[in-house]
Chain A
């Protein structure tokens, strides 16, 4: 179930020859501050944690699918059937991630299992979570380090610094809807030539 999709944008004819052939934007759950998916869930299966994540509680979800209807980014996925993993595909399942049943909504969780594991380690050792200690799977996998993950409240974190440095290029998706997404994107820059 694709919790993260890479959307590709083809530049328009006016930009031909002066820009990359393809723009790409990985889109996952934006964990909006004013998440449109949260107040429409009738059973509190989609709630905001105190840490700023939009949490999906699988046990509580009754499958009304209202949250995906209201999501402007369409990042949520529904289990239309009960998932089956005939052997040996069941070996691919991550033991830290709950297996969802039929009729339950799911989406990107910012690798909450990694966040929780990191926080538990930090609490055991009696310290704060360090920047870089928790990294999401998508950020870890990206070969060009296109994705940064961190604590927005930690102004020394690599993610916040990257944002601050790239401030003129920062944008969020569909800002006019006022969902206040916490995923920010940096615009591509390319040289323009006077004459194409």
Chain B
């Protein structure tokens, strides 16, 4: 039995959310949803079906911010201490101006780390289209793609059709296709 991708197209986000919940009720978990904008209904349905918590990107941002803060302290305190030049009678390590540098580097390194985490967790840039991707999914249609054996495909198709899919097609996958 070869693996197939069952590609269903929905016209609006409510029906797509119904489809995802229907798949979850039928205990079909190997699916991927494509949608052109983050609709709240679909996001809720996905969260229910996948039971995953908030994205891990936030940890990247947190630790990046802390790194930025500490590196600013190291930079400002370290360089002032190394070259102890007197400027205007200020203390050699003058903390109030250095707070500004600490703040800016926290934001900078934090945001860049968050962005890096975003790319890492999404495995972007992506060079190959994912199995089941159709170009309308980036424009105005919503898609749910289920990867399964050929035998189980019929059951999947009926679940999706009952949920209100506008269009269902089947695509034979090359054996090397992997789940994202």
- Determine direct contact between A and B, CB below 8 Å: yes
Residues in chain A within 8 A of chain B (CB atoms): 33-41, 44, 46-48, 50, 180
7 A-B interface contacts by CB (under 8 A):
A33-B89, A34-B89, A36-B88, A39-B90, A44-B85, A48-B87, A50-B86
Smallest CB separation, A152 vs chain B (Å): 16
Complex CA gap A36/B88 in Å reads: 6
User: Contact at B83–A38, with CB atoms within 8 Å?
Assistant: no
Residues in chain B within 8 A of chain A (CB atoms): 83, 85-90
Q: Which of B83, B85, B89, B90 has the most CB of A within 10 A?
A: B89
Complex CA gap A180/B86 in Å reads: 15
Other A-B contacts than A36-B88, A44-B87, 13 sampled, CB-CB below 8 A, are A33-B89, A35-B88, A39-B87, A39-B90, A40-B88, A41-B87, A44-B83, A47-B85, A47-B86, A48-B85, A48-B86, A48-B87, A48-B88
Complex CA gap A47/B87 in Å reads: 5
Chain A residue contacts of B85, Cβ below 8 A: 44, 47-48
User: Contact at A34–B88, with CB atoms within 8 Å?
Assistant: yes
User: Contact at A180–B87, with CB atoms within 8 Å?
Assistant: no
Q: Which of B85, B86, B90 has the most CB of A within 10 A?
A: B86
Chain B residue contacts of A39, Cβ below 8 A: 87-88, 90
Checking A41, A44, A180 against B89 with a beta-carbon cut-off of 8 angstroms, the contacting residue is A180
Smallest CB separation, B98 vs chain A (Å): 12
Complex CA gap A108/B87 in Å reads: 18
Residue of chain A at shortest CB distance from B85: A47
Smallest CB separation, B175 vs chain A (Å): 62
Checking B83, B87, B89, B90 against A46 with a beta-carbon cut-off of 8 angstroms, the contacting residue is B87
Q: Which of A34, A38, A41 has the most CB of B within 10 A?
A: A38
Smallest CB separation, A118 vs chain B (Å): 23
Chain B residue contacts of A34, Cβ below 8 A: 88-89
